[in-house]
Structure 1
Amino acid sequence: MIVVIGAGRIGGALHQRDPHQFALVDRQQGWELLEREPGEPILLAVRNDDLLAVLERVPERRRADLVFAQNGMLRPWLREHGLTEVTRGLLFVAVPTRGAPIEPGGESPFFGPHAATMVQAFTRVGLPAAVVSADAFAAVELEKLIWNCAFGLCCEAFDCDVGTVVRDHAEQLRALVAELLEVGAPALGVELELGPLVNRLCDYSRSIPSYRGAVKEWPWRNGWFVETAREQGRATPTHAQLLARVGRG
């Protein structure tokens, strides 16, 4: 059994798909499940900004069982809270609205102590997943982060959907992705080729052309690139220009 903290879109949809496989903990109910003996995964299906409040309610002896599957750059936060050895995941699923069934997407990667258990649970309910190495996870983590940050910023800056970004703003997009890659790759110890990366990001966007991203979760996404570029002494003029255009300069 996987204990899922958070009754939002993802947590609720996993519980709906198989209530016996995914036991739900919401703001008021289910917390007694965390009093069980250590060894069962605890998937955190909450927003990044809610992580600290949730962590404070998790017994110390159960924190090694935590599974973090949030988007965004979690690594600094995990280091700060002594959680570098926990299980990580990235969910390639879609839940259009709260209460809607979960829709399988690509293969969701997991690594860490409970990776195999998470993959078994996901595949058992028809959600593709795989155990990956730390290096492989970092590469996917950076690629997904760049997609969220680049397309979110371009959608907001050009007031359009991701399909239009690919079609009408390819030059600015490539320059932006190049800058984010130059910042993120050394920070995560990852090597990704720019051309194939841009192609993959655009191919994915073409598969969901009407989706409109936005600049959000600032410290976990674009804000992390701004701060890391500053620490590296690296200029990111395209990123800065587009951020200024949306009032984040």
Structure 2
Amino acid sequence: MACSASASQAFTIVGGGRVGQAIADMGSGSDVVVGRGQRVEGPPGPIVVCTRNDDLQAVVDATAPERRQDLVFIQNGMLQPWLDARGLGENTQVLVYFAVAKKGDKPTDGKTDVNPEGLTAAYGKHAQAVADRLHSAGLSCKVLGKADFQRAMLEKLVWISAFMLVGAKHKATVGQVEVEHKGEMAALISELCAAGAAELGVGLAGGEVERLLAYARSVAHFPTAVKEHHRVKTVYQ
């Protein structure tokens, strides 16, 4: 299948870990990969930030002001308040539902028995370019409007928060939580989705519990921990 011009567009990729390397491997070989502590410089177009949440401020600081609108954020969590506070509220964001087991491996798409079309989604200026890059590697990615993306972002945050918390409580994997604590999870997902939707001022699409339990089944081997959840909380400050 021929790649579109957007799929072959050169990216600047910040972070050469599992996800950053995977995105670079999907490209034509013309990407610029920027390491920790380096100035963020590269070709015109998307600057895909593949770092942990607690590195984001350093990445913004290392990017020239005139290029910051090109930053593409793919981190877990609800980044919007953090982005808004830095004048980056309209930047491209991507909800990543594919997994890379170790550096150099091909990504596994986050398709489920409820959403076989995939769950990865993007919003913003460079959303289509990112989607085209992922499509060129056989991965799914939907380009959404702002309201739909906010709903999807809320669901991803609820999934991480609920499964990591309940899993840590019971010392269980994601799959064990889904099988052995389904009632507890369903109640927590419903409560968190309702509270989050009220705070964001968006309506829920329905089916949140089924979608998030299905995603858990697709990554049943994943461990649970609250460490990443703590890092996600820092983006609100």
TM-score range, shorter chain: 0.7 to 0.9
Higher RCO, 1 vs 2 (CA within 8 Å, ≥6 residues apart): 2
* Partner Cα distance (2:66, 2:13) in 1: 17
* Partner Cα distance (2:229, 2:147) in 1: 25
Instruction: Name the residue aligned to 2:212.
Output: 201
Q: Choose the corresponding residue for 2:190, options 178, 181, 185.
A: 178
The amino acid across from 1:155 in the alignment is G
Q: Is the 8 A contact 1:150 1:177 kept in 2?
A: yes
Q: Choose the corresponding residue for 2:85, options 80, 85, 90.
A: 80
Q: Choose the corresponding residue for 2:150, options 133, 138, 147.
A: 138
Instruction: Name the residue aligned to 1:124.
Output: 136
Moved more, 73-82 or 210-219: 210-219
- Helix, strand or coil: the match of 1:104? coil
Q: Choose the corresponding residue for 1:9, options 11, 18, 40.
A: 18
Moved more, 12-21 or 90-99: 12-21
Identity %: 36
- Helix, strand or coil: the match of 2:36? coil
Instruction: Name the residue aligned to 2:97.
Output: 92
Higher Rg: 1
Deviation at 1:112, TM superposition (A): 1.1
The amino acid across from 1:220 in the alignment is V
Q: Is the 8 A contact 2:15 2:49 kept in 1?
A: yes
Alignment of 1:1-249 (within 5 A): 1-18=10-27, 20=29, 22-27=31-36, 31-33=40-42, 36=43, 39-105=44-110, 106-192=118-204, 196-215=207-226, 216-218=228-230, 220-221=232-233
- Helix, strand or coil: the match of 1:67? strand
- Helix, strand or coil: the match of 1:58? coil
Deviation at 1:133, TM superposition (A): 0.5
Over 3 Å counting, the alpha-carbon distance change for 1:27 and 1:182 in structure 2 is same
Provide Cα deviations, 1:206-234, integer angstroms capped at 9, x if missing partner: 2222222221242525996xx9xxxxxxx
Deviation at 1:99, TM superposition (A): 3.0
Q: Is the 8 A contact 1:17 1:102 kept in 2?
A: no
- TM-score, normalised with respect to structure 2: 0.83
Give the structure with the higher percent helix.
Answer: 1
> Any gaps of 5 or more consecutive residues in structure 2?
1-9, 111-117
> Any gaps of 5 or more consecutive residues in structure 1?
228-249
Deviation at 1:189, TM superposition (A): 2.2
* Partner Cα distance (2:98, 2:231) in 1: 24
* Aligned pairs, number: 220
* Partner Cα distance (1:43, 1:74) in 2: 15
* Partner Cα distance (2:128, 2:200) in 1: 23
Deviation at 1:166, TM superposition (A): 1.9
- Helix, strand or coil: the match of 2:204? coil
Q: Is the 8 A contact 2:168 2:225 kept in 1?
A: yes
The amino acid across from 2:214 in the alignment is D
Q: Is the 8 A contact 2:122 2:131 kept in 1?
A: yes
- Helix, strand or coil: the match of 1:93? coil
Q: Is the 8 A contact 1:14 1:102 kept in 2?
A: no
Over 3 Å counting, the alpha-carbon distance change for 1:222 and 1:86 in structure 2 is closer
